[in-house]
């Protein structure tokens, strides 16, 4: 589908200067206690302009959950090590070998196939083993680790370069000091038991900020995989702003396509709305209702916050309705919104939203 050329009434403005600043600050901050950052690019669909900002500002390893995104960055000439951030599907193993230097893994069947295909190509594919530590998304259970590693070590075609764990993604489980110490211990055990130096001991993601800030020593943890902190300037346990970072590197902008004074409560007999809900409305009398030209097909609307003092009343697939309050919004005016993580993911993934890059603060 090529709709890029058509004018779009909605766009995301990407301030590369602010992203560069956040990258530099975080690389230095985490580097102060020996932690290297993997730049997570899935959030921005492997956008090569953003990836290059990462690389130019001190990140040498880029991680993405989609092979297409790794390939996109590689084809665009981004100079980095590429990590597949999600355990590969059996059906995509060959593409993983061709497009990722390293993949994160939790299943022996997948690693066996990675090894077989890599060996046939005279290659050695690097793997990071993800360990389950309570968030209950991906991971090998610690009790099974010893047997698992022994089996991987017997395979030609793959080499274990690290271990990792993930937190606060599914179960909301915190990367506490206790969890980090446990991961450090496991790393120490693997290194001594198998005489296997681990290049990466990757302790988590943007949720690890509080842990890192509080501890003197990070133990054997030497890596974190950061997305949201870089893009939105926040840690992710409480969504607190990280001091000195920009939270507004991304702005969503859309145009008003209708603006009229209308009642605040729909009139007539009512049934379901577009998404099967029976909507309820508070009567605030007559209001200025402005419609902007995007909807739930384009953006996770609940993740948007208007910059002006106006309120999002709701959306259908391609209309979003605002109560303009005291703001005199007229047709053709542009309305700006800040984005949370879900909104950022959705606008970056939407083919209907133009990406506009700026560099100045």
Looking at the Cβ atoms of 15 and 43, the one nearer to ligand PLP is: 43
Q: Compare residues 166 and 315 and give the one whose CB is closer to ligand PLP.
A: 166
Q: Please tell me the distance from the alpha carbon of residue 24 to that of residue 27, in angstroms, as a whole number.
A: 5
- Site mask for ligand PLP (CB under 6 A), range 281-300, x = bound: --------------------
Burial letters 258-273, b for 16+ CB under 10 A, else e: ebeeeeeeeeeeeeee
206 binds ligand PLP (CB under 6 A): yes
Nearer to ligand PLP among residue 135 and residue 256 (C-beta):
135
Contact call for residue 40 and ligand PLP (CB under 6 A): yes
Closer Cβ to ligand PLP, 26 or 190, answer by number: 26
Q: Which of residues 115-174 bind ligand PLP (CB under 6 A)?
A: 166
Site residues (CB under 6 A) for ligand PLP, limited to 262-281: none
| Region binding ligand PLP by CB under 6 A among candidate stretches 25-33, 225-233, 280-288, 300-308 | 225-233
| Catalytic, out of 18, 24, 33, 42 | 42
Stretch that binds ligand PLP, among 22-30, 187-195, 219-227, 331-339 (CB under 6 A): 219-227
- With CB under 6 A as the contact rule, the residue among 80, 228, 234, 256 that binds ligand PLP is 228
**How near is the Cβ of 167 to ligand PLP at its closest, in Å?**
9
In the complex with ligand PLP, the residue whose CB is nearer, 67 or 290, is 67
Q: In this chain, which of 225, 288, 289, 355 binds ligand PLP, going by CB under 6 A?
A: 225
Which residue number, 225 or 288, has a Cβ lying nearer to ligand PLP?
225
- Using CA atoms, how far apart are residues 254 and 238, in angstroms rounded to an integer? 29
Least distance to ligand PLP from the beta carbon of 252, Å?
18
> Is 156 one of the catalytic residues?
no
Per-residue x/- marks for ligand PLP, 56-75, CB under 6 A?
A: ---------x----------
What string of H, E and C letters represents the secondary structure of the chain? CCCCCCCCCEEEEEEHHHHHHHHHHHHHHHHCCCCEEEEECHHHCCCHHHHHHHHHCCCCEEEECCHHHHHHHHHCCCCCEEEECCCCCHHHHHHHHHHCCEEEECCHHHHHHHHHHHHHCCCCEEEEEEECCCCCCCCECHHHHHHHHHHHHCCCCEEEEEEECCCCCCCCCCCCHHHHHHHHHHHHHHHHHHCCCCCEEECCCHHHHHHHHHCCCCCCCCEEEECHHHHHCECCCCCCECCCCCCCCEEEEEEEEEEEEEECCCCCCCCCCCCCCCCCCCCCCEEEEEEECCCCCCCCHHHEEECCCCEEEEECCCCEEEECCCCCCCCCCEEEEEECHHHHHHHHHCCCCEEEEECCC
Stretch that binds ligand PLP, among 40-48, 107-115, 255-263, 295-303 (CB under 6 A): 40-48
The answer to whether residue 227 forms part of the interface with ligand PLP (CB under 6 A) is yes
Considering the complex, what minimum distance in angstroms separates the CB of residue 319 from ligand PLP? 30
Which residues contribute to the site for ligand PLP (CB under 6 A)? 40, 42-43, 65, 85, 166, 205-206, 225-229, 236
Active site residue ranges:
42
């Amino acid at each position: 589908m090529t709709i890029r050329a058509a004018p779009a009434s909605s766009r995301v403005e990407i301030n590369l200067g602010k992203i560069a600043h956040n990258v530099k600050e975080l690389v230095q901050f985490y580097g102060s206690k020996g932690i290297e950052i993997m730049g997570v690019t899935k959030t921005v669909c492997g956008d090569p302009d953003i990836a290059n900002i990462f690389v130019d500002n001190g990140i040498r390893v880029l991680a993405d959950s989609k092979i297409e995104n790794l390939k996109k960055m590689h084809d665009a000439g981004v100079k980095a090590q590429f990590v597949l951030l999600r355990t590969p599907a059996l059906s995509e193993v060959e593409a993983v070998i061709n497009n990722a230097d390293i993949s994160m893994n939790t299943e022996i069947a997948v690693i066996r196939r990675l090894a077989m295909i890599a060996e046939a190509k005279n290659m050695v594919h690097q793997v990071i083993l993800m360990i389950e530590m309570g968030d209950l998304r991906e991971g090998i259970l610690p009790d099974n680790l010893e047997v698992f590693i022994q089996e991987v070590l017997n395979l030609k075609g793959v080499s274990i370069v690290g271990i990792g764990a993930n937190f606060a993604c599914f179960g909301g489980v915190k990367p506490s000091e206790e969890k980090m110490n446990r991961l450090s211990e496991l790393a120490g055990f693997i290194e001594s038991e198998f005489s296997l130096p681990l290049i990466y001991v990757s302790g988590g993601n943007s949720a690890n900020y509080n842990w890192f800030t509080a501890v003197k020593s990070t133990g054997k943890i030497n890596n974190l995989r950061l997305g949201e902190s870089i893009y939105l300037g926040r840690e992710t346990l409480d969504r607190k702003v990280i001091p000195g970072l920009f939270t507004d590197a991304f702005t969503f902008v859309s145009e008003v396509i209708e603006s009229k004074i209308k009642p605040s409560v729909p009139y007539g007999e009512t049934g379901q709305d577009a998404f099967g809900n029976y909507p309820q409305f508070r009567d605030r009398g007559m209001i200025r209702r402005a419609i902007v030209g995007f909807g739930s097909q384009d953006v996770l609307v609940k993740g948007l916050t208007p910059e002006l003092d106006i309120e999002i009343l709701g959306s259908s697939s391609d209309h979003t309705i605002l109560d303009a309050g005291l703001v005199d919004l007229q047709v053709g005016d542009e309305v700006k919104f800040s984005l949370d993580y879900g909104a950022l993911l959705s606008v970056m993934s939407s083919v209907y939203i133009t990406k506009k890059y700026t560099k100045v603060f």
